[in-house]
Structure 1
Amino acid sequence: MARRKEPVIPDAILDQLLGGSDAKTAFDGGGLIDQLKKALAERALNAEMDHHLSSEGSQGNSRNGYGKKTVLTDDGSLELSIPRDRQSSFDPQLLAKYQRRFPGFNDKIISMYARGMSTREIVGHVQELYGVDVSPDLISAVTDAVLEEIAAWQSRPLEAVYPLVFFDALRVKIRDEGTVRNKAVHVALGVRGDGTKEILGLWIETNEGAKFWLRVMNELKNRGVDDILIA
């Protein structure tokens, strides 16, 4: 049985996402958000493949490497590794074989990686992304895989000292309780001593106040940050 391909952003340590590029490029093509989109989409596709191989009628079937597919998102193109099976019976529902457009993906990915997403909200986003009637078992399998990806990124250990950290916010439209609302996704971008950069965290918060920033600072401290020279 072919080995399962590791996600483009490792589950344990999803760091060095920007690789020395300018902080302003985090949301540009090929930047942080494109990497998060690729990681989450490929994690969902692999969960689909696991579900397919465990279903009735797939006895004797197994993984058979990956194929490449370029899809169009809201603001550009994204190359994904699509898992294949030996019987060629796997037809992913997240991205159908002949589907080339992936609309509405950006805001959902940003919001899922940010703090404050409940399991029910993750399920809602997954259902919206698929846009078709899928079984509850498949939704559960994909949601569990997505939650693992998100939890690993949110809780990964950080450097002890960051000479510089940028704190900023991005406004995105997020579906909440059946209504689309504008919410602020707060971003902490850290610069290491060697000049490389990484996103320390993403947080969704309606009201930006002292309690919110105290929670952010405590979280960074609990993940290993001892000092920030300039914020």
Structure 2
Amino acid sequence: MTPTKKPDAEKRNAEREAALTFVRMAKEKGLDLTGPDGLPKQFTKSVLETALDEEMAEHLGRAKHKKSKDGRAANTRNGTTAKTVVTDSVGPVRIEVPRDRDGSFEPVVVRKRQRRLPGVDEVVLSLYARGLTTGEISAHFQEIYGADVSRETVSRITERVVCF
């Protein structure tokens, strides 16, 4: 009879493997691993901007650079606005928040006028290191931010950020 791994040990192994992957990628691309603009801050920025882009795609009903079904769109993307948010462990992170022409886009992950994101690092880690299902990640966003992020949006976010 072989002993089975405990869930905590499996989680730690998954987190370690994810961390090793990101460290190797960062070194290959010449990115700083530590310091004020190190990998954790860059990674947090990438995840937040990806999540906001996917929220906008869900709001408009189509991906970036895709035409609407009838060829005409009543509402379209209208650039981005720079915003600095403060996280618990990586400090201030400057992100680009997408806008729409109607001004009807209400982001959930980083709300309008929100400047502090407590717990965002846990979300970042859970997206990659825990191996959670899309439903579990969606529930995690709800728990941390009180944000209703659909499973489909979570799936698109995780697919896009993996290419980071």
TM-score bucket of the superposed structures, by smaller chain: 0.5 to 0.7
In the TM superposition, what whole-angstrom CA distance separates every residue of 1:68-97 from its partner, at most 9, and x where no partner exists? 000110031011100011111112121221
Q: How many Å apart are 1:19 and its aligned residue?
A: 2.2
Q: Name the CA distance, whole Å, in 2 between partners of 1:139 and 1:126.
A: 10
Relative to total residues, which structure has the larger strand share, 1 or 2? Answer: 1
1:66 match: 80
Query: Does 1:89 pair with 2:96?
Result: no
Relative to total residues, which structure has the larger helix share, 1 or 2? Answer: 2
Q: Name the CA distance, whole Å, in 1 between partners of 2:61 and 2:134.
A: 23
Q: Name the CA distance, whole Å, in 2 between partners of 1:29 and 1:107.
A: 19
Q: Name the CA distance, whole Å, in 2 between partners of 1:38 and 1:129.
A: 17
Q: Letter of the aligned partner of 2:51 in structure 1? A: A
Q: Which runs of 5+ in 2 are unaligned?
A: 1-23, 63-72
- 1:47 aligned counterpart, secondary structure: helix
Residues 70 and 20 of structure 1: is their aligned pair in 2 closer, same or farther, counting only changes over 3 Å? Answer: closer
Following superposition of structure 1 onto structure 2, how do residues 5-154 of structure 1 map, counting pairs within 5 Å? 15-16=25-26, 19=30, 21=32, 25=34, 28-54=35-61, 60-75=74-89, 76-114=91-129, 116-132=131-147, 134=148, 138-153=149-164
- Could you list the runs of 4 or more consecutive aligned residues of structure 1 that deviate by over 3 angstroms after TM superposition? 14-18, 150-153
Q: Which runs of 5+ in 1 are unaligned?
A: 1-13, 154-231
Contact 2:134 2:151 in 1 (8 A): no
Q: Name the CA distance, whole Å, in 1 between partners of 2:139 and 2:122.
A: 13
Q: Name the CA distance, whole Å, in 2 between partners of 1:37 and 1:141.
A: 21
TM-score, reference length from structure 1: 0.49
TM-score, reference length from structure 2: 0.67
Q: Name the CA distance, whole Å, in 2 between partners of 1:107 and 1:89.
A: 29
Pick the structure with greater CA Rg.
1
Contact 1:63 1:83 in 2 (8 A): yes
Identity %: 39
Q: How many Å apart are 1:129 and its aligned residue?
A: 3.8
Q: Name the CA distance, whole Å, in 2 between partners of 1:105 and 1:54.
A: 26
Contact 1:112 1:150 in 2 (8 A): no
Q: Letter of the aligned partner of 1:85 in structure 2? A: D
Q: How many Å apart are 1:141 and its aligned residue?
A: 3.4
Residues 47 and 129 of structure 1: is their aligned pair in 2 closer, same or farther, counting only changes over 3 Å? Answer: farther
Q: Letter of the aligned partner of 1:124 in structure 2? A: A
Contact 1:33 1:110 in 2 (8 A): no
Aligned length: 129
